[in-house]
Structure 1
Amino acid sequence: MEITRENIDELNAVIKVDIKKDDYNPKVEKILKDYRKTANIPGFRKGHVPMGMVKKQYGQAVLVDEVNKLLQESLNNYITEEKLEVLGNPLPKDQESFDWEQDDYSFEFELGLSPKFDVDLNTKKPITQYQIVADEEMIDNQIKTIQKQYGKLVAKEEVEEGDVVAGTFKNEEEGIENTTTLPLEKLKGKRNLNKFVGAKVGDTVSLKTKSLFEDDHNLVEFLKVEHDKAHELDVEVSFEITEVNQQELAELDQELFDKLFGEGNVKTVTELKEKIKEDAENQFKQQSDQQLLNDITERLIETTSFNLPGDFLQKWIQVSGENQLTAEEAKEEYEKSEKGLRFQLIEGKLVQENDLQVKFEEIKEITRDRIKMQMAQFGQTDPSEKDLEDITARVLSNQDEVKKLSEQVMNQKLLDFYKEKANLDKKEMTYENFVKEVYK
């Protein structure tokens, strides 16, 4: 057997595999002899079927199967030994005059080669690394939310600003009839609020749906209208008040602190604010880290220039799925996936050159830590080593879970690497300003 390669250009090559009869025939003959021993053919005792008949019935199928196995194995070995970095899989070239009746065969395969390029994290324009802080206003709002959540409603007869009213929204023509509980703070503007203030249980208030709430999506929640309809809805609705309640806030005392954070962990309002700030900023860190990953990904794709074997990849996409695509469909799929492929190559180069490989022990460690955290939430703060090992083993027996964990570990490795090596500009801001700047 002989394998040769012709490099068409830096990104495309053709491999030719010449297979002689001596390469495959011993294996084919052995398989046919084994078939002869077990073949059940009417008129012949088992093991006494003439070899000519066995070859006639099974010969070509066995030949094709063994040649294809030999071809695939030799092709894979060649790519490995030559250290060829290929994209997709080798594609067999059409051979119109191919004949299985010959003794010797020649096959040709197209290869798409991975491009050569360098990755520079030290970009001229720095990438923003957001540090989101919880400001006093956010902390105070969170405390008020907690006080409402753990407070109580006190029934009353007449509506005042800040109350919560229960009742039914109605509009017969639009098919609106929904009983709900409405915090008056959800209303938009003094005009809407003033229609409620001074009203009593049993009164009916008339309202316009347009500009009823600060957010039109509240119409979906309180009136139960369809989402697509909410943005354009401009009708008059009635609201019959069936109940009026004053929101009595929970006291900021030790009983509340213990409910929130466990006995004795928070003892003062100052400590409460510090705890809320810490918890909020931990959540913000996850969001800012994800934004940093997204921004660096976009910047690397933008600044790392290289060509791809586009024509080859479109051919490969066309035939590699469950259903063969048309050339136009394959081109469309390639254009949609090109950006992702580029980053896969960039990421792979960074991982290889900087030894960022994920080790199984790292996956096992993060799994154990998460299991301990989950058990602690249910009061098991000191699980035995055997319990931890058993649960960890069960989790890691699921290959989908291992893959997901591996991706998470790799993302963290890349994030740490970026923070150390990339040209970053740290920018501190509140969450509200972060949302305005990033999501505009």
Structure 2
Amino acid sequence: MIQSFYHSIIFLFKTDTIVDIALEKASETNASLKIKLTPEDYKPEVDKKLKDYGRKVAMKGFRPGKVPASLIQKMYGKSILVDEINNLLSRTVSSYIRDNKLQVVGDPIPNREQADAIDWDNQSEFEFKYDLGLASDFEVYFDQLPAVPNYQIEAGDKELNETIENLQNQFHGHEHAEEAAEGDMLYGELTQERAEGEPFSTKTALPLNKVAEDALPQFIGKKKGDTLTFDIQAAFPDEKDRALATGVKGEEAAELQGEFTFTVEDITRNKPGELNQEFFDKVLGAGNVENEEQFRTKVQEIIGGNYEREANTLLRFTIEKTLLENIPITLPDEFLKQWLLEVNEGKFTPEQVEEQYDDFTRSVKLQLIKNKIAEQADIKVDFEEVMGVTRQMVREQFGFYGDDSQMSETIDRIARNYLMDDKNNGQNYTNMFNRVYDDKVIEYAKTQLDIQPQTVTLEEFKELAAANNNR
């Protein structure tokens, strides 16, 4: 917030084009840039562009390159002047912010009224003003930050046995049953007598896991040869399930109603996969393990790897939370709220900006802190690092394995095409660059912070993760 008193600190700055620019600070987080332009600043470039137009423009009644300069000036002079001054302002403001290392948040906001009052036909000297939002000064001292817990999940026999049981259910077999139970599949003939037209009759399978709960008792306990009658919409209220059960198309299934008769011819039940070689090959790939002991060891390794990824995700979140909570940064709240409204051009109301403002400022502060860490540690990201991460993404998405030259060339081509895609104005490259940059900053922070390993059970870890996600 702007303080009740006004104090001004002015910095004069000259660019290579001798542009006068002054920074006036109203508070720690609010400032303005005032820029004065004289003909010496913009005229040489304007004159150069007018001459270029004179050489290139084609005009009836004049030979190429012979259009009078006065006519070129009359027709194109104002638009060239406006474009050049806009370009000059953009370069000047960007250079000043960069060279003076101002921690600007949001974009500089030009004074619209001042700009609209310019008389482009008669003025030769111009003044412009840009409002700036600044973040307060801060430093990152890792030795003054509290310890960060690194939770390591203890995967015991309970987790291993549950995972194997889930795998057995996932890679299940089938067995025939004498009597229908929940989850079974009933095979037989489904019929319906109709007052008009041909009666409905089809051989089908009724999945009992799709039957509505209140209709399920009609099916439970039925045996081969039994016949039951049920209301089709009551038993299968979901149209997609009704289509699956009757074998008709979706739009036809939506019209089905009334009582249907089903005669049970067979009952099948999912049978958990047996711990044998066929099962091991289905889960882990052919020949990767040869017995149950090796299978359990491999599954334990996979569980450990999954838990490690989850733990690393939480560690990253905890590091960011520690940085945010212990490095105070003040932002120009009113400026940022106004900027958010302007930059989104009516897409959000003031109420919506207010509602999302805390999340926005969290990301702004976190990025400022990461930038400061990167500056302190001289962290940089080069193209090959971005390519490396993109290659790995391509491998994972397309399932490319192996390192032969042809495979590597294919991966390189896909990665480069993705990064250089012009359809989204380079956003893919920006996203991957930011990902590498962010990872390097966090990895550096891990080497500087006091990271304390803590062993927890899976249930304890889930509670910790949920608690952090809700903050």
TM normalised by structure 2 equals 0.70
Per the alignment, in what secondary structure is the counterpart of residue 196 of structure 1?
coil
Match of 1:344 in 2: 367
Contact (CA 8 Å) 1:163, 1:245: kept in 2 or not? no
Unmatched segments (≥5 aa) in structure 1: 170-177, 207-218, 225-236
TM-superposed CA distance for 1:285, in Å, is 1.9
TM-superposed CA distance for 1:282, in Å, is 1.2
Contact (CA 8 Å) 1:162, 1:246: kept in 2 or not? no
Counterpart CA distance in 2 for 1:325 and 1:360 is 36
Q: Does residue 302 in structure 1 map to residue 325 in structure 2?
A: yes
Contact (CA 8 Å) 1:182, 1:222: kept in 2 or not? no
Match of 1:216 in 2: none
Counterpart CA distance in 1 for 2:147 and 2:208 is 47
Task: Flag the 1:151–1:335 CA change in 2: closer, same or farther, 3 A.
Answer: closer
Per the alignment, in what secondary structure is the counterpart of residue 154 of structure 1?
strand
Task: Flag the 1:327–1:159 CA change in 2: closer, same or farther, 3 A.
Answer: closer
Task: Flag the 1:48–1:350 CA change in 2: closer, same or farther, 3 A.
Answer: closer
Counterpart CA distance in 1 for 2:66 and 2:313 is 71
1:397 is matched with which residue: 413, 417, 422?
417
1:434 is matched with which residue: 441, 454, 461?
461
Counterpart CA distance in 1 for 2:443 and 2:165 is 36
Counterpart CA distance in 2 for 1:426 and 1:299 is 17
Equivalent position amino acid for 2:90 in 1 = Q
Equivalent position amino acid for 1:435 in 2 = K
Counterpart CA distance in 1 for 2:306 and 2:263 is 40
Task: Flag the 1:182–1:417 CA change in 2: closer, same or farther, 3 A.
Answer: farther
Task: Flag the 1:264–1:119 CA change in 2: closer, same or farther, 3 A.
Answer: same
Q: Does residue 55 in structure 1 map to residue 73 in structure 2?
A: yes
Q: Does residue 139 in structure 1 map to residue 160 in structure 2?
A: yes
Contact (CA 8 Å) 2:182, 2:208: kept in 1 or not? no
TM-superposed CA distance for 1:270, in Å, is 1.5
Task: Flag the 1:25–1:355 CA change in 2: closer, same or farther, 3 A.
Answer: closer
Counterpart CA distance in 1 for 2:330 and 2:208 is 59
Match of 1:152 in 2: 173
Equivalent position amino acid for 1:426 in 2 = Q
Match of 1:69 in 2: 87
TM-superposed CA distance for 1:305, in Å, is 1.6
Per the alignment, in what secondary structure is the counterpart of residue 328 of structure 2?
coil
Counterpart CA distance in 2 for 1:187 and 1:414 is 53
Per the alignment, in what secondary structure is the counterpart of residue 53 of structure 2?
helix
User: For residues 321-332 of structure 1, what are the structure 2 equivalents within 5 Å?
Assistant: 321=344
1:7 is matched with which residue: 21, 25, 36?
25
Match of 1:129 in 2: 150
Counterpart CA distance in 2 for 1:78 and 1:341 is 21
TM-superposed CA distance for 1:306, in Å, is 1.8
Counterpart CA distance in 2 for 1:404 and 1:34 is 39
Per the alignment, in what secondary structure is the counterpart of residue 59 of structure 1?
helix
Contact (CA 8 Å) 1:396, 1:402: kept in 2 or not? no
Task: Flag the 1:372–1:92 CA change in 2: closer, same or farther, 3 A.
Answer: closer
Per the alignment, in what secondary structure is the counterpart of residue 457 of structure 2?
strand
Unmatched segments (≥5 aa) in structure 2: 1-18, 191-203, 231-237, 244-258, 420-426
Counterpart CA distance in 2 for 1:305 and 1:124 is 12
1:361 is matched with which residue: 379, 384, 392?
384
Counterpart CA distance in 1 for 2:441 and 2:298 is 30
Task: Flag the 1:396–1:201 CA change in 2: closer, same or farther, 3 A.
Answer: farther
Counterpart CA distance in 2 for 1:143 and 1:199 is 32
TM-superposed CA distance for 1:275, in Å, is 0.9
Equivalent position amino acid for 1:290 in 2 = T
TM-superposed CA distance for 1:336, in Å, is 4.8
Q: Does residue 284 in structure 1 map to residue 312 in structure 2?
A: no
| Number of equivalenced pairs | 408
Task: Flag the 1:267–1:348 CA change in 2: closer, same or farther, 3 A.
Answer: same
Contact (CA 8 Å) 2:109, 2:130: kept in 1 or not? yes
Contact (CA 8 Å) 2:160, 2:300: kept in 1 or not? yes
Match of 2:253 in 1: none
TM-superposed CA distance for 1:307, in Å, is 0.8
Q: Does residue 315 in structure 1 map to residue 315 in structure 2?
A: no
CA RMSD between the two structures: 4.5
Match of 2:139 in 1: 118
- Identity in percent: 27
Task: Flag the 1:147–1:241 CA change in 2: closer, same or farther, 3 A.
Answer: farther
Q: Does residue 105 in structure 1 map to residue 126 in structure 2?
A: yes
